């Protein structure tokens, strides 16, 4: 199934359900982009983007950093959440208020009240970068949803089932879209196809995605 590429003014404000408790909120982050971008630029100066290695020994094509009390990391020993940036030895930068507010509002719009994220993973995709199918399951509290914000170049998001082999649908994610999944959909497999080289007017040749979670 492929969602038709609507004109932006028709898309904004639409909700597309990917499951009973999984929804794309089209353009939900757009009113906050002007606050999000400088906050993103600032936190990168403290904890720059870097390419981490998976437990299987592969270097991820996506570069990442984190903000908030806990940050997601991977190395040869496994995936985990850590209060410290392994590169700097310092705590991750504080979560900007605008991130937390956006996440709370998006979660509420998707039916998850009082979402209080303590972790924000920020992924940077350059052309060709991808994220293979996975579940988000390193969080202690699987009762809280995942809130995922897309900025910059358009990506094709894959949203599968609860088993890796289940067929995944493909959904384009545009600048300003927010995806929320929780409840019965919390452990759905998901990923991102290799990013096409189609520069974005504001962010250029990159896509920034950040996911907010309650990890601890
Ligand atoms: C993720 O699953 O961590 C990233 C999803 C995305 O980039 O849209
Ligand atoms: Fe994920």
Return the ligand number nearest the Cα of 123: 1
Is the pLDDT assigned to residue 4 strictly greater than 70? no
Quote the tokens at residue 121.
């993973």
Question: 117-154 burial by CB neighbour count: b if 16+ within 10 A, else e?
Answer: bbbbbbbbbeeebbbebeebebbeebebbbbbbbbbbb
Q: How distant is the alpha carbon of residue 37 from its chain centre? A: 15
Quote the tokens at residue 61.
């094509």
Mean pLDDT, the chain, whole residue set: 96
Q: How, if at all, do strands 119-125 and 131-134 pair?
A: unpaired
pTM of the model: 0.95
Q: Which tens digits make up the pLDDT trace of 15-57?
A: 999 999 999 999 999 999 999 999 999 999 999 999 999 999 9
Q: What percentage of the chain reaches a pLDDT higher than 90?
A: 94
Q: Is 74 in the pocket of ligand 1 (CB under 6 A)?
A: no
Please count the other Cβ atoms lying within 10 Å of the Cβ belonging to residue 67: 27
Domain segments of the chain as ranges:
4-213
Ligand 1: which atom is nearest the Cα of residue 125?
Answer: 7
Predicted pLDDT at 141: 83
- CA-closest residue to ligand 1 atom 7: 209
Q: Is 47 in the pocket of ligand 1 (CB under 6 A)?
A: no
Predicted pLDDT at 1: 45
> Mean pLDDT throughout 189-204?
97
Q: From 190, 195, 212, give the residue whose CB has the most ligand 1 atoms within 8 Å, as the site to mutate.
A: 190
> Mean pLDDT throughout 64-70?
98
Please count the other Cβ atoms lying within 10 Å of the Cβ belonging to residue 23: 23
Is the pLDDT assigned to residue 203 strictly greater than 80? yes
> Mean pLDDT throughout 206-216?
97
According to CATH, the topology of domain 4-213 is: Jelly Rolls (2.60.120)
Q: How confident is the model at residue 9 (pLDDT cuts 50, 70, 90)?
A: confident
């Amino acid at each position: 199934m492929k969602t038709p590429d609507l004109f932006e003014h028709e898309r904004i404000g639409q909700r597309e359900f990917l499951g009973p408790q999984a929804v794309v909120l089209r353009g939900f982050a757009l009113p906050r982009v002007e606050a999000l971008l400088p906050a993103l630029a600032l936190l990168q100066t403290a904890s720059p983007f870097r390419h981490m290695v998976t437990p299987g020994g592969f270097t991820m094509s996506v570069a990442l950093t984190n903000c908030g009390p806990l940050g997601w990391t991977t190395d040869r020993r496994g995936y985990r959440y850590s209060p410290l940036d392994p590169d700097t030895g310092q705590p991750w930068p504080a979560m900007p208020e605008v991130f937390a507010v956006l996440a709370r509002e998006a979660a509420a719009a998707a039916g998850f009240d009082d979402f209080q994220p303590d972790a924000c993973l920020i992924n940077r995709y350059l052309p060709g970068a991808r994220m293979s199918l996975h579940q988000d399951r390193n969080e202690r509290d699987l009762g809280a949803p995942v809130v995922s914000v897309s900025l910059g170049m358009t990506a094709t998001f894959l949203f599968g089932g609860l088993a890796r082999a289940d067929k995944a649908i493909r959904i384009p994610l545009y600048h300003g879209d927010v995806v929320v999944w929780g409840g019965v959909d919390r452990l759905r497999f998901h990923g991102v196809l290799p990013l096409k080289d189609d520069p974005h007017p504001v962010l250029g040749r990159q896509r920034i995605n950040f996911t907010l979670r309650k990890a601890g």
